[in-house]
Structure 1
Amino acid sequence: MLAMDQGVVEEWLSEFKTLPDSAVSTYAASLKEKGSLVPAIYKVIRENYSDLLEPVCHQLFEFYRSGEPQLQRFTLQFLPELLWSLLSVSAARDPHNSGCIEALLLGIYNLEIVDKDGQSKVLSFTVPSLSKPSVYHEPSAIGSIALTEGALANHGLSRVVYSGPHLQRETFTAQNRFEVLTFLLLCYNGALSYMTCNSLQSLCQFSSRVCICGYPRQQMRRYKGISTRLTVTSEFLVQLITGIHYALCNGEVELGSKALDDVLYRAQLELFPEALLVGNAIRSSLHGAALKSNNKEGARSIQVEITPTSSRISRNAVTSLSIRGHRWKRHDAVDLGSPDELMDISEVDEGVWPGVVGPDMTPPTITISNSITTLNLGAKAMKKCRLGGRNSKDKETSPLTTGRAASENTEHAVKRLTLTSSQSVPKDKLMAKMSKETKQRLQQLFQCGQFVIRWGFIPTVLYLGFKRGADPGMPEPTVLSLLWG
């Protein structure tokens, strides 16, 4: 260990002892600014025979016992390195060099298993149920489940997994060692979002060493540490995989991938189903999606897609009006233009539709639209329009039609005939340019519009298109619209 690193650690040990209680929070926030302190502490932990190891462990325990969250996280970032030091010393059968590390880990464990009142903690987790929404799924997206007797009996029941109460430990034994270490890893995983890059790298290296020591893969990794096989449990490996998953998604792709392969390698040798299930699930998910957040600075998170618990689909009642509006909105149509471009034209005599169309008269094209959908009426519509212009003798034979026509003529008298054009044209100038033949066509089309309403084709807007007539003074084809108010 270099003298400079030793000086940094000694200064850190001395300044906290003289710190008043009111300045603890400020001091905890200032630890992030000391970039050389964390690497120096790592070197002290890795040197089992260092004289600074015992005071460093004591200082870290004081940080954790203070209750300040930032100081507790500062201690937790060294947990993977502390666990490896403990296991490597235990495998070498040299317990005298691990006394201070054991005391630190047992102290953290005993503080975490009780609450503020000194009562034993019981951690709980509710397993998501398919019948209730959660951050993992939405019931409506899965589909209906068969209503069997067993499904009805278990409807609404939620499975809750409990952890605890845990017993206090005063020393490590072969029976309780991995029970304590697994719980400590659980506490570490609870603060993963606050861990530094050095801590995540230490976790990946610790996972690989624990799983490959004493096995042929140790030679492939070219690790020259201890060659004794370390006993592990399935729960311990699951906690390792949880931390590795976070490291994989937050910049440590290379180390995380190697660590995950090593943990799965050991789980296959030990036939641990829980570790194999979780590890293979993470490996499959990583193959289907590219890892992001390679930047080691800034916010860290595991990207997941969360289905909203509330449905976004409108559940309004379906009526004939809503169906008609939905059908007319499927395609685009001619824009009506701005309100400034619409001009009223006084309604003239309604007139009647003649029974015979002159040879020089071109049948108009009637387009029915609701601002979006366009419909052209052909010969059949023209035939119906002729039927609408029957003489008085025909109307006497059909009293029902006559009564309906009279009522609709009254309603039609209040309608407006508007002109839509890309350029505003004064009304007097427009009427002067219209020929007599054009005015007659306008009256005929107006009568046809009455028939369309009578037969139930009730458009919001009627676009009436004209073709150029024989009169050379007639303007370019104009688009007229009947707005039914």
Structure 2
Amino acid sequence: MADVLVLDWLDEFEFLTECEFHTFAAEQEHNQEIILSIYVILGDTSKSKYGNLPERICKQFFAFNRSGEEHLKHFVLQFIPSLILLHLNDKKLCPSLEPLLISVYNLDIVDSKGQPRVISFRLPSIAQSSIYHDSSNLESAFLAENALRRWEECNTKLVNWGPLPQVESFNAQNRQRVLAALTFLYNQYVANINIQSVEHACKAISRIVSQGFISSGSSRTSTESDTLHSALFPHRLAVSSPLLIEFLHVTYHALERGANGAGQTLNDITQRATYECYADVLLVAYAVRNALHFSPAVSVSLPQPHSVSKTMITNASFRTKKLPDDIPIQTEESEAPLSSITEEQEDTEKNRTRSGSALKHLPKLPGLSKKPKHQNKGSPTPQRHSAEPEPTTDNIEMRIAAGAGDQVSLVSGAFSDTSGGDETPHAVHVSAV
């Protein structure tokens, strides 16, 4: 299916007119179906499956790169890692691949006037402002002027890339340098490449650095022949230290964007750098690993609008007493006047309530009894709240259980008033049994 789509795409370009060429170039960067199909064809190293289709694709890329259209040049740049894998794996499989890589290299190392291209950039320092800090807000106690001058010395030494010499053909001396420069140009444009292309680039890098090595799960015995071993394990691809550092830039960008397989690619590069004893590559690899450990990839999501629930719990839900606003206001006023309340009446009602509730909880004891009242037949019962109390003879005896086994007896005698006004008190006996 991929080869059919690519063949139709190649035929379409051949019959384009001049007025349709610019529109075709602008649409290629977003043609994901063709891009994925080309990745499938370039990633297959078998010679008999697609025939000369990789050769035709390389010729098409060569025409795109020499056309002068920026969209077509960027379209070719996103396949650089896959083209490097195809070139290092089998240089004779696609004869047009080497001229394509040399053409991309020679055109991008010069500017529009044909002069050698030089890219300069400075290392970030605390003396100059950046996206992370503002140097004007630094306190004088934190950094003195002498310290700032010492940090400003690095700003006079800029890091330069280029100028690079042009090449006419690949050889053992310039191959790694040209491939590293091509990967550097790819990293200049990697932010505009879609995530699917970045994932395919990580797969190609993993194959470049790990091809020819035996995995941890496989083992080789002494009885196996070299022919069988070479068929199962293809030859190892040579990589230089600058090329691996550029591969780490691609991997770091893929990890920040959350591309699948980027973590495995970082492990493969670290193992290959350990095998080759590249100290600078190991330094960058572990720096990337530590940076991702403390600052993981973040996917920006738009804030979703939310409505406040009417039943949500707030501090007002935990009020201990009612506020004046919570007391309902009665609009209808009663016509009847309010009765006056005296303090003596309130105290009397409270005492009655307390005594009544206390008597309800008293146990029924056999010793608790009340003697009947003996009144004189000739004298009427005295009324409550009378001015002069009538003489009465009441004898009340109460026994209340107190403690464990103790009995308290209260005996009250009769009180009477004599005619002469002499008040004779009767004794009140309280005994505890």
TM bucket by the smaller chain?
0.5 to 0.7
- Counterpart check, 1:287 vs 2:327: no
Partner of 1:248: 255
Query: Is contact 2:214–2:233 with CA below 8 Å preserved after alignment?
Result: no
Give a deviation string over 1:103-142, Cα, whole Å, max 9, x none.
Answer: 1111111110111121111121122233222335444559
Q: Which amino acid aligns with 2:256?
A: C
Q: Offset of 1:157 from its aligned partner?
A: 4.3
Partners of 1:40 and 1:137 in 2: CA distance: 45
Partner of 1:43: 40
Q: Offset of 1:38 from its aligned partner?
A: 2.0
Q: Offset of 1:39 from its aligned partner?
A: 2.7
Partners of 1:9 and 1:157 in 2: CA distance: 49
Write the mapping of 1:387-402 to structure 2, written as runs, cut at 5 A: none
Write the mapping of 1:350-389 to structure 2, written as runs, cut at 5 A: none
Comparing both structures, which one devotes a greater share of its residues to helix?
1
- Counterpart check, 1:239 vs 2:252: no
Q: Offset of 1:260 from its aligned partner?
A: 0.6
The one of 86, 89, 96 equivalent to 2:92 is 96
- Counterpart check, 1:129 vs 2:135: no
Q: Offset of 1:77 from its aligned partner?
A: 1.9
Give a deviation string over 1:361-382, Cα, whole Å, max 9, x none.
Answer: xxxxxxxxxxxxxxxxxxxxxx
Query: Is contact 2:65–2:76 with CA below 8 Å preserved after alignment?
Result: yes
Give a deviation string over 1:36-83, Cα, whole Å, max 9, x none.
Answer: 322322233235632122221111121122232221222122211111
Q: Offset of 1:170 from its aligned partner?
A: 1.4
Partners of 1:176 and 1:183 in 2: CA distance: 11
Is there any run of 5+ residues in structure 2 with no aligned partner, and where? 220-230, 303-433
Partners of 1:12 and 1:58 in 2: CA distance: 13
Partners of 1:287 and 1:152 in 2: CA distance: 31
Q: Which amino acid aligns with 2:102?
A: L
Partners of 1:163 and 1:225 in 2: CA distance: 40
Partner of 1:265: 271
Query: Is contact 1:54–1:100 with CA below 8 Å preserved after alignment?
Result: yes
Q: Give TM-score, length-normalised by structure 2.
A: 0.59
Give a deviation string over 1:218-275, Cα, whole Å, max 9, x none.
Answer: 7579xx974423222221111111111111122314x011111111122222232322
CA gap 1:62/1:272 in 2 versus in 1, 3 angstroms: same
Partner of 1:12: 9
Q: Which amino acid aligns with 2:237?
A: L
CA gap 1:113/1:218 in 2 versus in 1, 3 angstroms: farther
Identity of aligned residues (%): 32
Partner of 2:27: 30
Query: Is contact 2:105–2:181 with CA below 8 Å preserved after alignment?
Result: yes
Query: Is contact 2:2–2:41 with CA below 8 Å preserved after alignment?
Result: no
SS of 1:175's equivalent in the other structure is coil
The one of 160, 163, 166 equivalent to 1:162 is 160
Partners of 2:17 and 2:270 in 1: CA distance: 48
The one of 97, 100, 106 equivalent to 1:110 is 106
**Higher relative contact order, chain-length normalized (CA < 8 Å, sep 6+):** 1
Write the mapping of 1:307-322 to structure 2, written as runs, cut at 5 A: none
Query: Is contact 2:26–2:71 with CA below 8 Å preserved after alignment?
Result: yes
SS of 2:146's equivalent in the other structure is coil
Q: Give TM-score, length-normalised by structure 1.
A: 0.53
| RMSD of aligned residue pairs (Cα, Å) | 3.0
Partner of 1:309: none
Write the mapping of 1:198-217 to structure 2, written as runs, cut at 5 A: 198-217=196-215
Q: Offset of 1:278 from its aligned partner?
A: 1.9
Is there any run of 5+ residues in structure 1 with no aligned partner, and where? 90-94, 299-485
SS of 1:124's equivalent in the other structure is strand
Q: Offset of 1:146 from its aligned partner?
A: 7.0
Partners of 2:128 and 2:176 in 1: CA distance: 35
Q: For the pair shown, which has the larger CA radius of gyration, 1 or 2?
A: 2
Partners of 2:164 and 2:243 in 1: CA distance: 16
Q: Which amino acid aligns with 1:135?
A: I
Q: Offset of 1:211 from its aligned partner?
A: 2.0
Query: Is contact 2:251–2:262 with CA below 8 Å preserved after alignment?
Result: yes
Partners of 1:273 and 1:210 in 2: CA distance: 19
Query: Is contact 2:123–2:155 with CA below 8 Å preserved after alignment?
Result: no
Partners of 2:253 and 2:232 in 1: CA distance: 26
The one of 176, 179, 185 equivalent to 2:177 is 179
Query: Is contact 1:212–1:218 with CA below 8 Å preserved after alignment?
Result: no
Give a deviation string over 1:167-205, Cα, whole Å, max 9, x none.
Answer: 111111111111011111011111112223332122211
Partners of 1:137 and 1:197 in 2: CA distance: 30
Partners of 1:136 and 1:294 in 2: CA distance: 19
CA gap 1:6/1:212 in 2 versus in 1, 3 angstroms: closer
Query: Is contact 2:248–2:285 with CA below 8 Å preserved after alignment?
Result: yes
